[in-house]
Chains A and B, each alone.
Chain A
Amino acid sequence: MGDLNSDLVLLASAIARGEELSSQIDSQYSEYTRDTAIEVYRNNYRGNLQDALAGVYPVVKQLVGDTFFRFMARKYIELYPSASANLYHYGGELAVFLNEFTPARELAYLPDVATLEWACHVAYFVADQPSLDMNKLAQISPEHYASLIVSTHPAYRIVRSRYPVNAIWYAHQTGEEENFHFELENNPSIALVGRIDNVVKVTDLSESEACWLENIQAGNTLGVATAVTLELHPHFDLQSTLLKLFESGVFVDVILKELS
């Protein structure tokens, strides 16, 4: 891999890093200059990545407006160049970037909105896995429930925020410009993000529901998860939580833990 590789690397660095073009590129074109040509490629490069970001983060875009979003995307693209030929992988660090991005500092909830939108994006593209068959649960005698290990769908993520990002996300799903008011202080939220019937769903979770599900996701038995949760949240209601989470599609399978 000799000359070809160096030709390509030189062109790539001219496009992605704004470096000088190599002398191996023809300098004369009938209708335009070489500088015009490389600018077309630079614009394509940024434009494709910016479109990818806009596709993943429609709510962030609505919150900051088109002009600011373009400015923000340009800075993001400089700091986080593409690493995959598949554009659907692009943009996963936006929340991290926004935490450090001082021009957006006044919108303190913006990084958490980005985290929620990335979780939705991942949920949309993750491979299918069938939901739990209730018949399988019915075959297990209730006295063994405490020893059940429930496996959960890998697409489902819990997103916590000290801000009401779930409400902000819901309010911007129509895409219509409207004035919303959200109480930002002392108004935290927890979202369960997943996909059911091919539609991405964001479900509000209470602290106790999230605590129980996190214990289940960590591989604890139903009994242990429930005991830990009840200790922290004495009013935890296992039955209603099971029903709500079953409907969300997060459960995939149940197995009885081997009694040792």
Chain B
Amino acid sequence: MQRPATSQLPCKAGIGLRATHYSEVLETLPELGWVEVHNENFFGGGASLHTLLKVREHYAVSLHGVGMGLASTTPLCETHLSALQQLCETVRPAVVSEHLCWNSAGGFVVNDLLPFPYTPEALAHVVRRVEHVQEKLGRQLLVENLSSYLSFSHSEMTEGEFLAELSRRTGCGILLDVENLYVNTRNLGVDAMAFINAIPVDAVQEYHLAGYSVRDGCLVDTHDHPVYPEVWELYEYVLQQIGPRPTLIEWDADIPALSVLMAEAAKAQQRMEATHG
């Protein structure tokens, strides 16, 4: 059943803002629904934070983390969390999000978004960490579904079921990355409709869209292409099933001109309006 959006972001299409476009955005102040930036680029303040604060004067900002490691088995990095807390106080973002993944275990740090087995043990572990993050930040965290290239044979639930239970137990929101979901349907045979049915509609507060690459038959979430027709199709299905939500165009490598990003965002906006008037 569809539900209206409850996010503090405007229910419009926005773009991922990267350093390439900082000065153009600040000089021309184009019409953007909102912008999303990666938290870690602003930790410690410095020159990049000054730029973000100028952007914040004109646009709603979503803070999107790539380094927290919600499912990592090393202790949650308190320095990282404090840096995020401070960034939230300074920037006052509309939403704060992270990925359902891990990046460190034992003595290893892998600067990537890695999958893990969806077991009761993992669920209890991620629940504790999400609760801790939400307490520390004093606000709700949105957790994003992951694109994966491999899966664990001893998973006892699907990622959708895991996210649904995580949201139920912690009150966290869900950031539905439509492209990640599509990548998983192709790579891992995930059932997209079952995934969408599994997650609580009210918890979904944001969508992501991006383009992937293909390497030896594996779809890789590279964020370096326009959104593909199959992903637009899944997005339209998501709009019908869940409802309109603030939608982001992500582009992180081979970043094109700002006008290209804005044209992609306009396509998302049109689909939102076509589905919901």
Chain A residues in the interface with B (C-beta under 8 A): 1-5, 7-9, 11-13, 15-16, 23-26, 29-32, 34, 36-41, 43-45, 48-49, 52, 81-88, 90, 124-128, 195, 198-200
Contact = CB atoms under 8 A, between A and B. Distances in A.
Interface stretch (B134-142, B146-154, B267-275): B146-154
A233 B186 CA distance: 71
Contact of A29 (B45, B112, B188): B188
Contacts, number: 157
Contact of B103 (A39, A81, A85): A85
Contacts of B125: 1, 4
B34 interface: no
B193 interface: no
A38 B150 contact: yes
A246 B84 CA distance: 33
Q: Which 10 A-B pairs have the closest CB atoms?
A: A8-B105, A12-B108, A31-B217, A32-B217, A85-B67, A198-B47, A9-B106, A5-B73, A37-B149, A37-B150
Nearest to B123: A4
A13 B109 CA distance: 10
A45 B111 contact: yes
A83 B77 CA distance: 12
A125 B44 contact: yes
Nearest to B186: A31
Given A24-B152, A82-B110, A40 B44 contact: no
A49 B220 CA distance: 18
Contacts of B165: none
B46 A128 contact: yes
A200 B265 CA distance: 34
B167 interface: no
Contact of A8 (B45, B102, B111, B153): B102
Given A4-B121, A36-B216, A86-B43, A16 B187 contact: no
A251 B41 CA distance: 27
6 contacts: A4-B73, A43-B215, A81-B108, A82-B109, A86-B43, A127-B44
B72 interface: yes
Contacts of B112: 15, 41, 44-45, 48
B26 to A, nearest CB: 13
Contact of B73 (A1, A82, A198): A1
A86 B43 CA distance: 9
A37 B184 CA distance: 13
B240 interface: no
Interface in B29-51: 40-41, 43-48, 50-51
Contacts of A82: 109-111
B218 A4 contact: no
A114 to B, nearest CB: 20
B116 interface: yes
Given A7-B116, A88-B40, 17 more contacts: A4-B116, A7-B117, A9-B105, A12-B108, A24-B152, A24-B153, A31-B187, A40-B149, A48-B111, A82-B110, A85-B80, A85-B103, A85-B104, A127-B44, A127-B46, A198-B51, A199-B47
Contact of B40 (A32, A44, A86): A86
Interface in B160-219: 186-189, 215-218
A258 to B, nearest CB: 32
Nearest to B125: A4
A36 B218 contact: yes
A8 B116 contact: yes
A85 to B, nearest CB: 4
Contact of A88 (B43, B109, B119, B216): B43
Contacts of B40: 85-88
B114 interface: yes
B117 A85 contact: no
Contacts of B77: 85
B122 A9 contact: no
Contact of B189 (A24, A30, A128): A30
Nearest to A52: B111
Nearest to A17: B108
A128 B45 contact: yes
A225 to B, nearest CB: 29
B69 interface: yes
